[in-house]
Amino acid sequence: MRTKIFRLPIVLILFHMFSYGQSEGMVRIEGARYIPLYGRDSTVVEVKDFDLDVYPVTNSEYLDFVREYPKWQKSKAKAIFADATYLRNWKNDLELKDGELLNSPVTYVSWFAAKAYCDCQGKRLPTMDEWEYAAMADETVKDARIKKSYNQQILSWYEAPRSNENKIGENPKNYWGVYDLHGLVWEWTSDFNSVLLSGESRKDNEKDNNLFCGSASLGATDLMNYAAFMRYAFRGSIKANYAIKNLGFRCATDAENTK
Amino acid sequence: MKKIFFILCSILLISFSACKKNTSKDTALYQCPMACEGDKTYEEPGSCPVCNMDLEAVETVTETEMSSDVISETSIFNLTSTWTTQNGEDLQLEELKGDVLVMVMIYTSCKAACPRLVADMRNIEAQLPKDGKDHLKMVFVSIDPKTDSPERLKAFAEENVMDTAPWLFLRSSEDNTREFAAVMAVNYKKISPLDFSHSNIISVFNQDGEMVFQQEGLGVNSDATVEHIKKAIASK
């Protein structure tokens, strides 16, 4: 009897912890050494064990966050941390625009906002190497990069319009149990600004224009992976206060930080 | 069972306190209605020590105070990270307020681009009028905080005869450095234990920490940069 009395608060607390952070928690990604898909200086990188959110952060979760931390509300975020398009699909500080779904991934968020969100959950943004590592798995294997079907699927998503308006969790989960690394939105990584294409990438163009030509991907270690090249090029072209329609995020933690 | 409950509660507490809530600091201030002590304010209600009258709440901060204290939305002083100078002193960027800042990110073990960036900075500094240098700081920020200890920055500063004003060397944690680079729009990546690949950007900030100009590339003509610095110093 006594134990039963205690069960309820425990269940409530556990439920609360999950609803406060990610609705379905995180999964462990076992680290390994691998060669990332793109990079002029491609070498083996080591990814240590880490935990990754199963889903990207949703509008609903982000709403809880801005309620708690008003300085990240649409009208209050400072321009140096989030540009004018920040939360553009929100009606006001605490409401989405009509037609936007609470369980769609939050987008139009800057890197600073994403970082603050993860910090406030006791987490961090995944590094680019971690994100790419988790994302090279398909439904059955850890490294699906050589599979033709894997690459085709990603590229066909890149062509699909307005996927950011879909709900989380509708794509199949990958080998690690993570959903939506591909097929929904692109995601911020902690060191997105470590991408340097061909030396000082931005100086290769007369204008401060970061559109890269596909032919540059010939420098990639794996020619199959044009999709990965697009991701790196995209990261190399954005700035930390940009809030973009198709760019969301999820959080990670070091494996030793969790029980 | 109780133990588990207790542990869960403490986990919960820790997870809530992990991030300080940053709501606006609405601390009311109190002042003597007779202004016996001038503009002196108290954080708690009470009575004036001179005339014994009850203190009254001061509701609004005057406009002039606002303009000098408030940091604009685009100012780098919004960053609250702590930095250490080559002399081992800690500072927050906001403490540099009032000076025009010319900033560049380098690392001291760099053999390729950094010496040229240092030369560019020296060249820019040499073109500035002497009398404006009281309100100027030429700042090097390390992108390799692991290697670049304050001692190392000090040695680098001395080696380059840059150990006195307006020169300043700063380092912080890797996280803060990444954030700072994000604000400066500098991209960098560690490519070997001692080498980084990085954007070569010199940024100019006015006295309020707002970016007014960026010069990209190595050994480029710095006339425009110099002009912007002069203008920023003059606008004081």
Is there a domain that residue B70 lies in?
Answer: no
Q: Which residues pair with B142 in a beta bridge?
A: B106
> What length is written for chain B?
236
Q: Which strand (E) or helix (H) includes residue A16? A: helix A2-20
Q: What is the pLDDT of residue A227?
A: 78
Question: Which domains are seen in chain A, by residue range?
Answer: 25-257 (3.90.1580.10)
Q: Is residue A2 within 8 Å of B1, Cβ to Cβ?
A: yes
Q: Please, which pLDDT band fits residue B13 given cuts at 50, 70 and 90?
A: very low
What's the DSSP call for residue A124? B
CA closest to A208 among chain B residues: B216
Percent of chain A clearing pLDDT 70 (strictly above): 75
From the list B179, B191, B216, which residue is nearest A41 (CB)? B191
The domain that holds B205 is classified in CATH as: 3.40.30.10
Distance of CA A125 to the CA centre of its chain: 8
Q: Is residue A135 within 8 Å of A52, Cβ to Cβ?
A: no
Q: What is the pLDDT of residue A175?
A: 95
Q: Which residues pair with A185 in a beta bridge?
A: none
Is there a domain that residue B13 lies in?
Answer: no
**Same domain, yes or no: B102 and B134:** yes
Is there a domain that residue B15 lies in?
Answer: no
Is there a domain that residue B48 lies in?
Answer: yes
**Same domain, yes or no: B101 and B126:** yes
pLDDT of residue A204 exceeding 70:
no
A172 to chain B, minimum CA–CA distance in Å? 31
Cα–Cα distance for residue pair A232/A221, rounded to 1 Å: 13
Least trusted range by pLDDT, from A229-238, B42-51, B175-184: B42-51
pLDDT digits (tens, 9 = 90+) for A132-179: 999 999 999 999 888 888 888 888 888 888 888 889 988 889 999 999
Is there a domain that residue B109 lies in?
Answer: yes
Distance of CA A200 to the CA centre of its chain: 25
Q: How many domains does chain B have?
A: 2
Is there a domain that residue B69 lies in?
Answer: no
CB contacts of B183 in chain A (<8 Å) are: 80, 240
Domain range spanning residue B37?
27-59
**Same domain, yes or no: B196 and B229:** yes
CB contacts of B23 in chain A (<8 Å) are: 69-71
pLDDT digits (tens, 9 = 90+) for A247-256: 999 999 998 7
Per-residue CA distances from A88 to A103, A181, A242, B90 (Å): 17, 23, 12, 38
What's the DSSP call for residue B54? B
Residue of B4, B6, B76, B178 to mutate, testing the A interface (most A Cβ within 10 Å of its Cβ): B178
In this structure, the dihedral spanned by the alpha carbons of residues A2, A7, A13 and A19, taken in order and rounded to 10 degrees, is -170
**Same domain, yes or no: B172 and B105:** yes
pLDDT digits (tens, 9 = 90+) for A112-141: 999 999 999 999 999 999 999 999 999 999
Residue A245 has a CB neighbour count (10 Å cut-off) of: 14
**Same domain, yes or no: B48 and B110:** no
Burial letters for A128-152: b for 16+ Cβ neighbours within 10 Å, e otherwise? bbbbbbbbbbbeeebebbeeeebbe
Is there a domain that residue B36 lies in?
Answer: yes
- For residues A233 and B154, which has the higher predicted lDDT (pLDDT)? B154
From the list A71, A122, A236, which residue is nearest B18 (CB)? A122
pLDDT of residue A209 exceeding 60:
no
